[in-house]
Amino acid sequence: MNEEYEKIIVQILPTLKRIAFRLRTWSFLDEDDLVQEGMNYLWDEYINGRLNGKNTSYLLQGCFFHLRNCCRKTKEKLVINRNSLNEADNGFDSDYSKEPAAITDELSLEALSDSLAQSAQLNETEKRVFVLSLEGYTAREIGKQLGVSHVWVLRIKNRVKEKCRDLF
């Protein structure tokens, strides 16, 4: 390994471990896997010369965004395709074909969004933005799904925050 890369890793590793610890609940990957993925990301950036002149906070922010997207993508890959299971006609209801954790995640998200929608008086758009945010989508991704700009999504998120803040 290059001395310069090792120096970067020594500086960043403690904070990278804290980031991985926080993100471990977003994915099926454990903390060590996330740290390794972050180090692989930094290595790729170093090899391609994109770390030259960058400060530590910039590198950590890049690692955070990479790991967050990695967590979201691994969740998407591990979700069972309901349509293919329904076509198999194995006699089971489609809800039983999912992993137990996926069912409870869906139920808890639906219950949380429904209860907040009623108590905070959220409209349908605010409710959809809230649910998609909880699922880990970025403002730009939510905007694409809803057909609005990411700035509008951020405004909606702020309205939801204010309504929720008023509840508590």
> Residues 91-150: pLDDT tens digits?
444 444 444 444 445 556 666 667 766 766 788 888 888 888 878 888 888 999 999 898
φ, ψ (nearest 5 deg) of residue 118: -75, -50
What is the pTM assigned to this prediction?
0.45
Per-residue pLDDT of 41-81, as tens digits, reads 898 888 888 888 888 888 888 888 888 888 777 655 544 34
Domain-by-domain residue ranges, the chain? Answer: 3-78, 95-167
Q: Give one DSSP letter per residue of 53-102, joined into a string.
A: T--HHHHHHHHHHHHHHHHHHHHHHHS--HHHHHHH--SS-GGGGS-HHH
